[in-house]
């Protein structure tokens, strides 16, 4: 299924700030942000009141592939422009004066047909003489390109570097993961466990790789893991799965926004296939509508397979919104933004605690009274009461977590396994609960409402990171929920260990013994 890009979305194809003078005339860039297309024809370009025909246009497709538009139009095959790739237009015309200019590009693309991009951009004549990091347009991951950046860093800083240059993988594998690659940051990894997990997806014993520079962290998690194992393991359950993109539509008044929200609710069956046309993985579950002032915020909720899916759902929502912009016939939509800050990407938020982002997973266990006293030197009553007092502190401070330190274990696992570490800002949210059982044992559980993890895509395929995922048995199709359950189990182990250390006053002495408190 093909979606039709609206004029509002077509404006986003143009790369703002790309307009510049060249020795032969003028240049600017268009980046494909819609879907993989085949450009079949270039009609004309107009800058201000100057209309330039195909004889005055050449197109640079990257890697030295520059084609005159006349020759290009004569080739019936056209050229394929993948999502994310740019095409630079070179125009044989007089150079532009400094200031604002209007640009119009008329062309045809399969499967969309005739497209017209109209934008404004400015040009500056002030030279930029600042030092620039070396980059190769032919192969930026070659040994030569990397060495030039290393030499530049040493010359610029006046320092000599040894360890950052040492790595054991082909740098070309980093394409799509890291730009301007120069070296590595070596982070120590300690093993904790094995952790016994009683999950629906993760079942058995797992070695836990924790990447950290914080003394006592691995020891603390290992202590909690041992107690969980002695108690029969940790029970983990994925209870929710949703990844969001949240566009906003702007109207003249609140009534227009309200009516639009009702229309979206009625048209979900027609919107869903438009969104899912961009991916074989992303599935649109539902759309939440939130109204404020004259704005309609739509929170699109997807399942994304083994990928974290932020980019996947962005593309899907882009397609859905293009269809919406073309088909809504009510009050005029004055502005549209693909992300409104309502998905709270890489930000802690209450909506994610309530509505789920990524995986919503619960880890729970019952710790026998005698084991808790023998291993942690606290009673169930002490730990449960400490939790009540801590709840007050968390409430007063406005924290997104009433537990002890779930971000520690999550971050260490994220770094080791190639997750997007910035997602810790959302994933660290937690709801901790404990109670005394009728048998006078301790029941503890933690809900992680927005755990954003992946076992496919992003950094999970890189050399070291993939090895640690293999250590966990979380490589291959259908392993993301398994990984989520393991992460949740590790988090509960950390809550049990640190909570007990604080309750028994072992916290400071442990850091003195194992950390770097000097």
Please give the backbone phi and psi of residue 321, each rounded to the nearest 5 degrees, phi first.
-70, -30
pTM of the model: 0.85
CB 340 within 8 A of CB 332: no
Confidence at residue 145, expressed as pLDDT on a 0 to 100 scale: 94
* Poorest-pLDDT segment among 74-83, 166-175, 344-353: 74-83
Ranges of beta strands (E only) in 270-385 are 283-292, 295-303, 335-337, 358-367
pLDDT digits (tens, 9 = 90+) for 172-230: 999 989 999 999 999 999 999 899 999 999 999 999 999 999 989 999 999 999 999 99
By annotation, the residues acting in catalysis are: 214, 420, 511
Please give the backbone phi and psi of residue 81, each rounded to the nearest 5 degrees, phi first.
-120, 100
Ranges of beta strands (E only) in 251-342 are 283-292, 295-303, 335-337
Neighbour count for residue 395 (Cβ, 10 Å): 10
Top-confidence residue, 515 or 68: 68
The CATH class that applies to domain 191-241+349-515 reads alpha beta
pLDDT digits (tens, 9 = 90+) for 490-513: 999 999 999 998 887 654 445 455
Q: Dump the DSSP string for 87-131.
A: EEEEE-SPPPPSEEEEEEEEEEEETTEEEEEEEEEEE------S-
What is the rounded distance in angstroms from the CA atom of residue 114 to the CA atom of residue 405? 55
CB 417 within 8 A of CB 340: no
**What is the rounded radius of gyration, in angstroms, for the C-alpha atoms of the chain?**
27
Confidence of residue 35 (pLDDT cuts 50, 70, 90): low
Domain borders along the chain are: 7-123, 191-241+349-515, 247-337
Structural fold of domain 7-123: Immunoglobulin-like (2.60.40)
The CATH class that applies to domain 247-337 reads alpha beta
Confidence of residue 514 (pLDDT cuts 50, 70, 90): low
């Amino acid at each position: 299924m093909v979606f039709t890009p609206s004029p509002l979305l077509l404006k986003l194809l143009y790369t703002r700030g790309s307009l510049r003078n060249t020795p032969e005339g003028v240049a600017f860039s268009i980046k494909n942000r819609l879907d993989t297309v085949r450009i079949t024809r270039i009609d004309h370009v107009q800058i201000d009141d100057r209309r330039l025909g195909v004889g005055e246009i050449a197109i640079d497709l990257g890697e030295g592939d520059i084609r005159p538009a006349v020759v290009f139009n004569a080739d019936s095959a056209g050229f394929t422009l993948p999502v994310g790739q740019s095409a630079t237009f070179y125009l044989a015309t007089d150079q532009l004066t400094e200031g604002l200019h209007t640009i119009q590009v008329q062309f045809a693309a399969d499967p969309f047909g005739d497209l017209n991009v109209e934008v404004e951009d400015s040009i500056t004549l002030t030279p930029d003489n600042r030092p620039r990091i070396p980059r190769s347009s032919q192969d930026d991951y070659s040994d030569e390109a990397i060495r030039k950046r290393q030499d530049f860093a040493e010359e610029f800083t006046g320092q000599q570097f040894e360890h950052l240059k040492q790595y054991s993988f082909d740098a070309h594998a980093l394409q799509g993961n890291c730009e301007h690659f120069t070296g590595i940051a070596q982070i120590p990894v300690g093993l904790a466990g094995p952790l016994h997990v009683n999950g629906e997806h993760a079942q058995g014993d797992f070695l836990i790789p924790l990447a950290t520079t914080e003394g006592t962290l691995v020891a603390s998690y290992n202590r909690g893991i041992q107690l969980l194992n002695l108690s029969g393991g940790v029970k983990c359950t994925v209870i929710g799965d949703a990844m969001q993109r949240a566009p906003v539509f702007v109207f003249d008044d609140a009534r227009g926004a309200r009516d639009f929200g009702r229309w979206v609710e009625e048209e979900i069956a027609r919107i869903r296939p438009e969104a899912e046309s961009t991916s074989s993985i992303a599935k649109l579950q539902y759309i939440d509508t939130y109204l404020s002032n004259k704005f309609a915020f739509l929170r699109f909720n997807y399942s994304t397979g083994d990928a974290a899916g932020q980019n996947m759902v962005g593309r899907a929502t882009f397609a859905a919104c293009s269809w919406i912009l073309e088909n809504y016939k009510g009050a005029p939509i004055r502005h549209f933004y693909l992300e409104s800050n309502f998905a709270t990407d890489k930000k802690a938020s209450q909506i994610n605690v309530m509505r789920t982002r990524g995986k919503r997973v619960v880890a729970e266990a019952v710790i026998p009274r005698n084991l808790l006293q023998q291993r942690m030197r606290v009673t169930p009553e002490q730990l449960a009461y400490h939790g009540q007092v801590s709840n007050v502190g968390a409430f007063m401070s406005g924290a997104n977590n009433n537990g002890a330190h779930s971000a520690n274990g999550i971050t260490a696992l994220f770094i080791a396994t190639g997750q997007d570490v910035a997602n810790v800002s959302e994933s660290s949210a937690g709801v901790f609960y404990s109670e005394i059982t009728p048998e006078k044992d301790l029941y503890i559980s933690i809900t992680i409402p927005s755990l954003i993890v992946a076992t496919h895509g992003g950094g999970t395929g890189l050399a070291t990171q993939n090895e640690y995922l293999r250590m966990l048995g979380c490589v291959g199709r259908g392993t993301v929920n398994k990984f989520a359950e393991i992460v949740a189990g590790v988090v509960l182990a950390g809550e049990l260990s640190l909570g007990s250390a604080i309750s028994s006053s072992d916290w400071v002495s442990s850091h003195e013994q194992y950390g770097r408190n000097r």
